[in-house]
Amino acid sequence: MITARPELDHALAAADEAAEEFAHSTPSTRAGRLRAVADALDAEAGTLVPLAHRETHLPENPRLSGELARTSFQLRLFAEVLVDGAWLDATVDHADPGWPMGARPDIRRVRTAIGPVLVFAASNFPFAFSVAGGDTASALAAGCPVVLKAHPGHPRLGARTGDVVTAALRGAGAPDGGFAVVHGDDVGVAALRDPRIRAAAFTGSVRGGRALFDVANARPRPIPFYGELGSLNPVVVTRAAVEARGDEIAREFVASFTLGAGQFCTKPGLLLAPEGSDMAGHLDRAVAAASPAPLLGEWIAQGYAARVADLHQAGAETLVAAEGGDPSRPAPQLFGAPAARLLAEDTTLGEEVFGPASVLVTYRDEAELREVLLRLAPSLTVSVQAEQADVPAVSRLMPVLTRAAGRLLWNQWPTGVTVTWAQQHGGPYPATTAPTTTSVGTAAIERFLRPVAWQGFPDDLLPPALRESNPWSLPRRVDGSRAPED
């Protein structure tokens, strides 16, 4: 177990050493390695899931077993991405003496691995955003060695998962050193400062993520830092929707904001409902029927209590709280405030609360709703609960909704992020530190690739993706045309 600087130095040297083999292995070789890791994780479910439960208090079924299934699926999906080849963005421009700005040389571009990547595991997803999660899967797919900083909330699971991944990679023929798990905040920061690390990825709090972002940018040679930090995930409900489906919306909203004890990055933390509608009444019944659930740990419970106190301080009143619970197993609760209050105060009402609480904000009219959406910090998601008759009004709001988040939902709930080709899990700061990227979905691989162009090279020195005969049968753009000519 790597918990101190000398062992870290060894792990970084090994990652640096493995980088060349990783970068130049063929996509199909790497696809085989990802599938081997997925198979190994599935085979170890019987030990990994109970271990995760012991360290995180999350229920084994369906929560943790489902998360592990998502994790191995994600590895297999990146194997499919690798074989597809579009991620290489292979582009060939033949020499052209008639190129309008002046004769053009033969120039060809392809994406290559950025080098060793440092991944910080998240507290709240011990599988899908941790040791073998999306950041690791996309970095390995890109051809990058991974140094994984385990989360202190589930250290034994981190170590055990690391052993499974390491053994699977070795079994699939990958060189040693391409994957390592390290423990300890000091060790994580030292790794982030090390010149052998070429990019980093993080999922966690605004405070922790911003501190690491600052470390990455303060290096003599800064590196890309892909941080997913905090997200309020507002939900807009129209008057017609409250009238047509108020009870259903309330039940689904409470289910979403209390899922995983409200510890999801996509938890809806704000419900915007029209003044004078009966949304509060519907919510009163739904929240009262909810149950307490254990938080991930003592440090989360402390943060939750502090944020709840902040909300009171900022003028939010408690509308309803479920029965029972204690500080480590808080009862779900709902706060309330008029939109005018949110617009008048600083930013407290619009900040994420990590835990089973949300805020009902009532808006007077479309103009005030628009003002609130423009004021809120960007989120990972923004959702709309509306009826067909609301389409013209929502249409007017679309530019504001688009500015507010990376993913927009219509009559659906933001928790439960599917992993697909079209998924986008990102957004402007503080949702993430890198708004042009996603950390979930197949496009996540792009974060760990940098383009390199070859000008005038003999065919046998070009990477296979760029050779004239297109030996990998890749989709390529040739002389500006998407239809491959070769």
Residues tagged active-site: 228, 265
What whole-number distance in Å separates Cα of residue 17 and Cα of residue 36? 22
- The span of 156-164, 250-258, 277-285, 408-416 binding a copy of itself (CB under 8 A) equals 408-416
Measuring CA to CA, how many Å separate 248 from each of 236, 238, 285, 385? Answer: 15, 14, 11, 11
Q: Which residues contact 62 (CB under 8 A, 6 or more apart)?
A: none
Smallest gap from residue 219 Cβ to a copy of itself (A): 8
Give yes or no for residue 366 binding a copy of itself (CB under 8 A).
Answer: no
Measuring CA to CA, how many Å separate 135 from each of 66, 399, 447? Answer: 18, 30, 9
Site pattern 106..145 for a copy of itself (x: CB under 8 A)? -xxx--x-xx------------------------------
Measuring CA to CA, how many Å separate 50 from each of 45, 143, 152? Answer: 8, 31, 17
- The span of 36-44, 294-302, 320-328, 390-398 binding a copy of itself (CB under 8 A) equals 390-398
Q: Which of 135, 116, 115, 298 is nearest to 204 (CA)?
A: 135
What whole-number distance in Å separates Cα of residue 449 and Cα of residue 143? 8
What whole-number distance in Å separates Cα of residue 129 and Cα of residue 248? 31
Size of the site for a copy of itself (CB under 8 A): 93
Burial group, residue 152, by CB count within 10 angstroms (0-12, 13-18, 19+): middle
Smallest gap from residue 397 Cβ to a copy of itself (A): 10
Q: Among 38, 192, 434, 445, indicate the residue that binds a copy of itself (CB under 8 A).
A: 434
Q: Among 29, 32, 446, 464, indicate the residue that binds a copy of itself (CB under 8 A).
A: 446
Smallest gap from residue 457 Cβ to a copy of itself (A): 4
What whole-number distance in Å separates Cα of residue 305 and Cα of residue 329? 11
Measuring CA to CA, how many Å separate 41 from each of 81, 83, 271? Answer: 20, 22, 38
Smallest gap from residue 388 Cβ to a copy of itself (A): 8
Q: Among 80, 247, 275, 278, indicate the residue that binds a copy of itself (CB under 8 A).
A: 80
Between 188 and 224, whose beta carbon lies closer to a copy of itself? 224
Dihedral, CA of residue 189, residue 193, residue 195 and residue 201, to nearest 10:
60
Give yes or no for residue 451 binding a copy of itself (CB under 8 A).
Answer: yes
Give yes or no for residue 415 binding a copy of itself (CB under 8 A).
Answer: no
Smallest gap from residue 89 Cβ to a copy of itself (A): 8
Give yes or no for residue 299 binding a copy of itself (CB under 8 A).
Answer: no
User: Which parts of 154-213 interact with a copy of itself (CB under 8 A)?
Assistant: 198, 213
Give yes or no for residue 268 binding a copy of itself (CB under 8 A).
Answer: no
User: Which parts of 225-264 interact with a copy of itself (CB under 8 A)?
Assistant: none
Long-range contacts of 371-374 (CB under 8 A, 24+ apart): 371/339, 371/343, 372/272, 372/339, 372/342, 372/343, 373/234, 373/236, 373/272, 373/397, 373/400, 373/401, 373/403, 373/404, 374/400, 374/403
Smallest gap from residue 61 Cβ to a copy of itself (A): 14
Site pattern 33..72 for a copy of itself (x: CB under 8 A)? ---------------------------------x--xx--
Give yes or no for residue 346 binding a copy of itself (CB under 8 A).
Answer: no
Measuring CA to CA, how many Å separate 320 from each of 18, 45, 358, 360? Answer: 55, 39, 11, 11
- The span of 239-247, 295-303, 365-373, 457-465 binding a copy of itself (CB under 8 A) equals 457-465
Give yes or no for residue 391 binding a copy of itself (CB under 8 A).
Answer: yes
Q: Among 25, 65, 74, 161, indicate the residue that binds a copy of itself (CB under 8 A).
A: 74
What whole-number distance in Å separates Cα of residue 197 and Cα of residue 8? 12
- The span of 92-100, 160-168, 265-273, 300-308 binding a copy of itself (CB under 8 A) equals 92-100
Smallest gap from residue 100 Cβ to a copy of itself (A): 5
Query: Contact, 378 vs 353, CB < 8 A?
Result: no
For residue 443, what are its two tokens?
Answer: 């496009």
